[in-house]
Amino acid sequence: MPKVIAVLGVGPGLGLSIARRFGREGFTTALVSRTDTRHASYRETLSGTPTHTYAADVTHPARLEAVLARITAEAGEIDTVYFGPADASGPGITPLTSAGADTVRAAFDAIVSPAVRLVEAVLPGMLERGSGSLLFAGGLSGKYPMPMLGSLAPASAALRMYVLTLNAALRETGVYAGALTIGGLIERGDIHREFTKQDHGFAAGTLDPDDIADKAWSLYAGREEAEAEFNAMAAV
């Protein structure tokens, strides 16, 4: 049976490139996004790769659990999950000098909590099998101080350390966890489109999502590196 990768938060940039890269290696792909608006185009792009598409808000606990169950029932047992549900219309950026507890917590609720719930849902089965992989996309502000990313930085840092610690904790189990730490605008992605419409006060270069997906595959195949960094930020 082909292995299954669940791509949570798929978009026209990195998520689709991840699906395409793993599909080339014989994986069945299960793509999850908030709406099904672009699913037909995604399936067309991945023509030749067995592909299932699902509409679900993975920040909602019950919907995350339900979509994972559907993927398992329809596509097969999940070998790998990629978590990258960046949302250009999400909580937005507030300077830390004016961000209160509620603002900072909103970023945690949108970024960190869904990642932990995902692990809570899929890790027991992976540990029982002694195999599986967990890949997470996060922001460079989780590694370097970047004041211009304000209220997003604490959540980015928490996600990054969560994944790195998970990698260390899983080292002898056969299950792998890895972080893609990204600084820059990912070409073809929704955030790239939104940010190029207006001046957000900082300069960011662009990154090719196919290059990041190639590295994601290398992390998966090698299972030795806990993190890959992609830095196109002029400020870092």
Report the distance separating Cα 191 and Cα 186, nearest Å: 8
The answer to pTM > 0.85 is yes
Output the CATH code of domain 4-231.
3.40.50.720
The residues, ordered by sequence, that sit 6+ positions from 110 with a Cβ below 8 Å of its Cβ are 59, 87, 90, 91, 155
Residue 87's pLDDT is: 54
Task: List per-residue pLDDT tens for the chain, 236 residues long.
Answer: 899 999 998 888 899 999 999 999 999 999 999 989 889 999 999 998 999 999 999 989 999 999 999 999 999 999 999 999 755 445 578 888 888 899 999 989 989 999 999 999 999 999 999 999 999 999 998 999 988 888 889 999 999 999 999 999 999 999 999 999 998 777 755 554 555 555 545 456 788 999 999 999 999 999 999 999 999 875 55
Integer Cα distance of 52 and 62 in angstroms: 20
